């Protein structure tokens, strides 16, 4: 079992599938040793399964050579469209492609956006469209969500947007149209909070939960309740078992055998579980949960003494057979880990008096047992979680249990009172959760823990779950102290670290010194609302347990530089704000001017200034920042144009520099030869979106940089750029640091 999982994990860690042959060779060599033959076979089986599945998925992915291709295709909407402003986003199952190119004909699913308010597309609709397609590439940043892996797991082979909608046929009766009908009815009949909650619980549609709600359930340790998972599927399966027992006595009286009644109940439970999984959209976590529940029900069907651990192992194998990359998913570790802890507790057969004592023991064991996983994966410890789950789990379980009865009644005419009661009840649930968080708190952000702290915390968890008296178990908590009291590793005196994020067509740069942190720009905002900041920048800040930014510099007012300001202000405090021009919505901001503003943090000098070229455009007012420690230096010119570069050379002595971020994302209006010669950078970094419509970086700019002898670094190709300024100047890129076989570029 372990060897099989190691085989799956080994393939998932490969930078490319060419390395599979080395793994197969290792398995073959190990099989020559007789005691290791069985384990070698299982390891090889895991390697073969994962590599064949991965190669099959990659073979369907749209190659980079076809980026920005305009293509006519027909397909069916298989997801409920998420609407934000004028944009509708959905997954389209491709039925036919108007192309003889094999790479295009192999497309299975594409994620599309439709920038129009009419017609409103619905799940199940069949459409004929002309789309502009791109590879399913995602932003690549430290500690951020791996969208490319998720697209691979979901068989999404491309992304794009609709240029022309030629035909739309409304969805025929079926599961997809029924899911859309329920979604529409929830929106029309329930309050916004209740509709979003029921959408998440019934349809698996979490897109309407607000950022505040996500933050609330994360900090209270109840996020698992708003994601259709093992708990929900198990509750619905339990409803089937209860119904079968309710009518079992009548059936026994009619001559039906007890074995048939028992199996009928199991069959009903399985049907309800499958139906609920289909209704919720069969997302990857749902698939995993359904397989687990069905395996456990199958053990009961066999009428044989099949242990819970054997069922657990069978479920794990079945899940990875369907989805080999599940071994890398945090949700899989959490769900299988929680079930393993419950099985362990049941095996101890410890008798506790009363429901409350039993519940406290269960929650305490789950909290301590899963703490190493949640801390290592999410950089947080919610001490409130056991208390919050004490009332949240029964309430949500009861709601899910009653939904098969309540929801049909709520959707018929004349049920306004029931709808109102349900809406108020759900709203009160959220208010109670918020009150518990605000009154009790007990939420701790921690930096990404070191390997030693994680190992000690796992040791604490194993010690805690042993069947020992409490006086012998509580010392285990001492082993958690390195994890809970860990401090982020920062630069030494006179050094600075820089993370230039991959934010797409925009800019966001984090500079850290021993004494302070600077954020230069916040990444782009999106036309339909939201920004890249929560997905690209915030995960890295969370991994460092940062609660405050000492200095925020906004180069100028364009949305590709200031789009994430609102999200930043919501999540953390900012001590000082400097801006090249006034940014709407920020009350306390100091203007960057011709007179340089300077800071000295632990031997690292930061200079911010603005040049005046006589031009009134926003780019010309960019606030320029230079960071230097005497050995290494970085220049951030914002979107400054060639005229501004000439003025900068005349007015300031800022060069030469080690690293230069190309002005205006590599536009032809910036990075003049004169400027490059004066700055004499060792490396020029282009911060831009992959396959962007502006054609950045311009070909003549790239040629000028090459002519200057500087190294070219491109966030669209190489992901986030990591710089370290010490006595030596070090550069690395995230796609090389964490390259996997599905990584683009």
The DSSP line for 391-428 is HHHHHHHHHHHHHHHHHHHHTSTT-HHHHHHHHHHHHH
Token pair belonging to 429 = 């649930």
> Residue 742: how many CB atoms within 10 A of its CB?
22
Reported as type and span, the H/E element at residue 342 is helix 330-348
φ/ψ region of 215 (left if φ > 0, alpha if ψ in -120 to 50, else beta) reads alpha
Specify which of 206-220, 605-619, 722-736 reaches the highest per-range mean pLDDT. 722-736
Number of domains into which the chain is organized: 4
The whole-angstrom separation of Cα 343 and Cα 311 is: 11
> Residue 506: how many CB atoms within 10 A of its CB?
28
* Across 357-377, average pLDDT: 81
pLDDT on residue 299: 75
The whole-angstrom separation of Cα 172 and Cα 78 is: 13
Is 60 exceeded by the pLDDT of residue 745? no
What's the whole-model pTM score? Answer: 0.89
List the Cα angle 335/340/344 in 5-degree steps.
Answer: 150
Q: Are residues 162 and 304 in the same domain?
A: no
Partner residues linked to 618 by β-bridges: none
Token pair belonging to 679 = 């700055």
Give domain status of residue 184, yes or no: no
Residues in the chain: 745
> Residue 171: how many CB atoms within 10 A of its CB?
21
Q: Are residues 69 and 53 in the same domain?
A: no
Query: Are 281 and 224 spatial neighbours (Cβ–Cβ below 8 Å)?
Result: no
The whole-angstrom separation of Cα 158 and Cα 165 is: 18
- The CATH number covering residue 87 comes to 2.40.50
Give domain status of residue 484, yes or no: no
Cα-Cα-Cα-Cα dihedral sign, residues 334, 336, 339, 344: negative
Q: Name which residue leads in pLDDT, 729 or 311.
A: 729
Is 90 exceeded by the pLDDT of residue 217? no
- The CATH number covering residue 529 comes to 3.60.15.10
Give domain status of residue 450, yes or no: no
The whole-angstrom separation of Cα 530 and Cα 398 is: 34
Reported as type and span, the H/E element at residue 236 is helix 230-253
Based on its alpha-carbon atoms, the radius of gyration of the chain, rounded to whole angstroms, reads: 28
For residue 491, CA distances in Å to 446, 517, 602, 685, 737 come to 18, 11, 10, 22, 19
For residue 6, CA distances in Å to 3, 36, 155, 254, 341 come to 5, 14, 24, 53, 21
Q: Are residues 117 and 238 in the same domain?
A: no
Q: Average the pLDDT over each of 228-242, 339-353, 587-601 and give the range with the smallest value.
A: 339-353
Is 90 exceeded by the pLDDT of residue 266? no
pLDDT on residue 316: 86
pLDDT on residue 666: 94
Residue environment code for 156-165, b if the CB has 16+ CB neighbours within 10 A, otherwise e: bbbbbbbeeb
Of the pLDDT bands very low, low, confident and very high (cuts 50, 70, 90), residue 79 is very high
The whole-angstrom separation of Cα 518 and Cα 548 is: 10
Percentage of the chain exceeding pLDDT 90: 51
Give domain status of residue 470, yes or no: no
The whole-angstrom separation of Cα 140 and Cα 684 is: 19
Pairing of strands 548-549, 573-574: parallel
The whole-angstrom separation of Cα 512 and Cα 491 is: 7
The whole-angstrom separation of Cα 714 and Cα 699 is: 13
First-to-last alpha carbon distance for the chain, in angstroms, is 34
Specify which of 26-40, 290-304, 728-742 reaches the highest per-range mean pLDDT. 728-742
Q: Supply the range of the domain harboring residue 397.
A: 195-445
Q: Can you say how many angstroms the Cα of residue 459 is from the centroid of all Cα atoms in its chain?
A: 28
Secondary-structure percent of the chain, ordered helix, strand, coil, rounded to 5 = 50, 15, 30
Is 70 exceeded by the pLDDT of residue 514? yes
Domain boundary among 172, 206, 226: 172
Q: Are residues 219 and 99 in the same domain?
A: no
Cα-Cα-Cα-Cα dihedral sign, residues 744, 741, 508, 214: positive
* Across 70-88, average pLDDT: 90
The whole-angstrom separation of Cα 484 and Cα 482 is: 6
Query: Are 505 and 531 spatial neighbours (Cβ–Cβ below 8 Å)?
Result: no
CA atoms in the 13 A half-sphere facing the CB of 483: 29
Of the pLDDT bands very low, low, confident and very high (cuts 50, 70, 90), residue 251 is low
Percentage of the chain exceeding pLDDT 70: 96
Of the pLDDT bands very low, low, confident and very high (cuts 50, 70, 90), residue 219 is confident
Query: Are 665 and 694 spatial neighbours (Cβ–Cβ below 8 Å)?
Result: yes
pLDDT on residue 353: 61
Q: Are residues 10 and 96 in the same domain?
A: no
Is 90 exceeded by the pLDDT of residue 209? no
How confident is the model over 118-150, as pLDDT tens digits? 788 999 999 999 999 999 999 999 999 999 999
Give domain status of residue 451, yes or no: no
Query: Are 639 and 664 spatial neighbours (Cβ–Cβ below 8 Å)?
Result: yes
Q: Are residues 354 and 502 in the same domain?
A: no
Q: Can you say how many angstroms the Cα of residue 330 is from the centroid of all Cα atoms in its chain?
A: 10
Query: Are 479 and 505 spatial neighbours (Cβ–Cβ below 8 Å)?
Result: no
Q: Are residues 527 and 441 in the same domain?
A: no
pLDDT on residue 650: 85
Torsion angles phi and psi, residue 130, rounded to 5: -105, 125
The whole-angstrom separation of Cα 556 and Cα 507 is: 11
Q: Are residues 203 and 129 in the same domain?
A: no
Q: Average the pLDDT over each of 320-334, 432-446, 640-654, 660-674 and give the range with the smallest value.
A: 432-446
Give domain status of residue 482, yes or no: no
Is 70 exceeded by the pLDDT of residue 545? yes
Give domain status of residue 486, yes or no: no
pLDDT on residue 658: 96
φ/ψ region of 232 (left if φ > 0, alpha if ψ in -120 to 50, else beta) reads alpha
- What residues contact 173, with CB distance under 8 A and at least 6 apart? none
Longest dimension (CA), the chain: 100
How confident is the model over 434-475, as pLDDT tens digits? 888 887 667 788 888 888 998 999 999 888 888 887 788 888
Token pair belonging to 130 = 């002309």
Is 60 exceeded by the pLDDT of residue 352? no
Q: Are residues 164 and 205 in the same domain?
A: no
Residue where the block lists tokens 């359930």:
217
Partner residues linked to 127 by β-bridges: 75, 168
Burial of 328 per CB tally in 10 Å (0-12, 13-18, 19+): middle
pLDDT on residue 358: 73
The whole-angstrom separation of Cα 77 and Cα 122 is: 7
Q: Name which residue leads in pLDDT, 224 or 442.
A: 224
For residue 258, CA distances in Å to 243, 253, 421 come to 15, 10, 40
Q: Are residues 56 and 75 in the same domain?
A: no
Is 80 exceeded by the pLDDT of residue 329? yes
Q: Are residues 370 and 515 in the same domain?
A: no
* Across 497-520, average pLDDT: 96
The whole-angstrom separation of Cα 216 and Cα 232 is: 20
Is 90 exceeded by the pLDDT of residue 385? no
Give domain status of residue 181, yes or no: no
The whole-angstrom separation of Cα 743 and Cα 745 is: 7
Query: Are 666 and 703 spatial neighbours (Cβ–Cβ below 8 Å)?
Result: no
Token pair belonging to 333 = 């570790």
Average pLDDT, the chain: 88
Reported as type and span, the H/E element at residue 364 is helix 354-378
Extended beta strands in 123-192, E state: 126-134, 158-169
Concatenated DSSP letters of 272-297: HHHHHHHHTT--HHHHHHHHHHHHHH
The whole-angstrom separation of Cα 676 and Cα 655 is: 10
The whole-angstrom separation of Cα 207 and Cα 228 is: 13
Query: Are 501 and 508 spatial neighbours (Cβ–Cβ below 8 Å)?
Result: yes
Q: Are residues 140 and 167 in the same domain?
A: yes
SS3 34: helix
- What residues contact 24, with CB distance under 8 A and at least 6 apart? 44, 47, 48
> Residue 604: how many CB atoms within 10 A of its CB?
26
Is 80 exceeded by the pLDDT of residue 706? yes
Domain boundary among 172, 187, 215: 172
The whole-angstrom separation of Cα 321 and Cα 329 is: 14
């Amino acid at each position: 079992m372990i060897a099989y999982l190691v085989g799956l994990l080994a393939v998932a860690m490969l930078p490319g599938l060419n390395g599979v042959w080395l793994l197969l060779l290792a398995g073959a060599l190990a099989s020559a040793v007789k005691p290791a033959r069985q384990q070698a076979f299982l390891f090889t089986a895991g390697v073969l399964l994962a590599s064949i599945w991965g190669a099959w998925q990659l073979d369907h992915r749209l190659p980079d050579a076809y980026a920005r291709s305009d293509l006519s295709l027909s397909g069916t909407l298989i997801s409920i469209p998420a609407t934000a402003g004028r944009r509708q986003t959905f997954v389209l199952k491709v039925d036919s492609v108007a192309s003889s190119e094999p790479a295009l004909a192999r497309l299975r699913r594409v994620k599309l956006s439709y920038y129009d308010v009419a017609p409103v597309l619905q799940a199940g609709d069949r459409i004929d469209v002309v789309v502009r397609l791109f590879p399913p590439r995602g932003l690549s940043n430290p500690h951020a969500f791996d969208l490319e892996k998720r697209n691979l797991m979901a068989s999404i082979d491309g992304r794009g947007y609709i240029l022309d909608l030629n035909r739309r046929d409304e969805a025929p009766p079926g599961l997809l149209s029924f899911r859309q009908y329920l979604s529409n009815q929830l929106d029309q009949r329930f309050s916004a909070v209740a509709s979003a909650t029921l959408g998440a619980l019934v349809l698996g549609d979490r897109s309407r939960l607000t950022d505040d709600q996500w933050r609330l359930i994360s900090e209270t340790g109840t996020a698992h309740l708003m994601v259709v998972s093992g708990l929900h599927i198990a509750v619905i399966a339990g409803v089937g078992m209860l119904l079968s027992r309710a009518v079992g006595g009548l059936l026994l009286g009619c001559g039906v055998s007890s074995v048939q009644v028992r199996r009928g109940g199991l069959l009903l439970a399985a049907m309800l579980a499958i139906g609920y999984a289909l209704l919720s959209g069969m997302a990857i976590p749902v698939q995993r949960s359904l397989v687990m529940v069905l395996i456990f029900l199958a053990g009961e069907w066999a009428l044989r003494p099949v242990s819970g651990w054997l069922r657990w192992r069978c479920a794990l194998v079945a899940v990875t057979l369907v989805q080999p990359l599940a071994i890398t998913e945090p949700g899989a570790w959490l769900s299988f880990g929680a079930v393993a802890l419950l099985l362990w507790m049941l095996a101890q057969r410890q008798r506790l008096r009363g429901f409350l004592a039993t519940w406290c023991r269960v929650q305490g064991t789950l909290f301590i047992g899963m703490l190493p996983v949640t801390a290592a994966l999410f950089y947080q410890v919610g001490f409130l979680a056991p208390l919050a789950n004490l009332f949240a789990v029964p309430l949500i379980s009861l709601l899910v249990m009653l939904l098969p009865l309540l929801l049909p009644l709520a959707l018929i005419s004349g049920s306004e009172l029931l709808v109102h009661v349900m809406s108020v009840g759900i709203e009160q649930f959220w208010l109670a959760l918020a009150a518990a968080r605000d009154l009790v708190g007990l939420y701790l952000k921690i930096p990404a823990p070191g390997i030693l702290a994680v190992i000690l915390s796992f040791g604490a968890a194993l010690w805690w779950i042993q069947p020992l008296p409490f006086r012998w178990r509580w010392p285990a908590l001492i082993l958690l102290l390195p994890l809970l009291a860990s401090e982020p590793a920062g630069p030494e005196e006179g050094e600075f670290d820089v993370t230039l994020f991959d934010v797409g067509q925009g800019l966001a740069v984090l500079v850290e010194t021993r004494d302070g942190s600077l954020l230069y720009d916040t990444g782009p905002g999106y036309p339909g609302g939201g920004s890249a900041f929560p997905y690209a920048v915030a995960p890295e800040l969370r991994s460092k347990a940062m609660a405050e930014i000492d200095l925020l510099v906004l180069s100028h007012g364009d949305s590709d530089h200031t789009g994430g300001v609102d999200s930043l202000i919501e999540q953390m405090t900012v001590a000082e704000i400097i801006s090249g021009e006034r940014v709407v919505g920020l009350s306390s901001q100091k203007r960057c001017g011709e007179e340089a503003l300077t800071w000295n943090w632990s031997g690292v000098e930061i200079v911010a200034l603005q040049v005046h070229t006589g031009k009134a455009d926003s780019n010309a007012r960019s606030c320029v920042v230079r960071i230097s420690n005497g050995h290494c230096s970085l220049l951030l010119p914002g979107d400054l144009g060639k005229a501004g570069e000439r003025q900068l050379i005349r007015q300031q002595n800022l060069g030469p520099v080690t690293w230069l971020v190309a002005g205006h994302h590599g536009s032809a209006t910036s990075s003049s030869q004169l400027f490059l010669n004066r700055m004499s950078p060792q490396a020029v970094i282009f911060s831009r979106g992959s396959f962007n419509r502006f054609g950045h970086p311009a070909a003549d700019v790239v040629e000028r940089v090459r002519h200057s002898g500087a190294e070219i670094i491109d966030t669209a190709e190489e992901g986030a750029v990591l710089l370290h300024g010490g006595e030596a100047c070090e550069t690395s890129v995230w796609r090389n640091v964490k390259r996997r076989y599905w990584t683009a570029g």
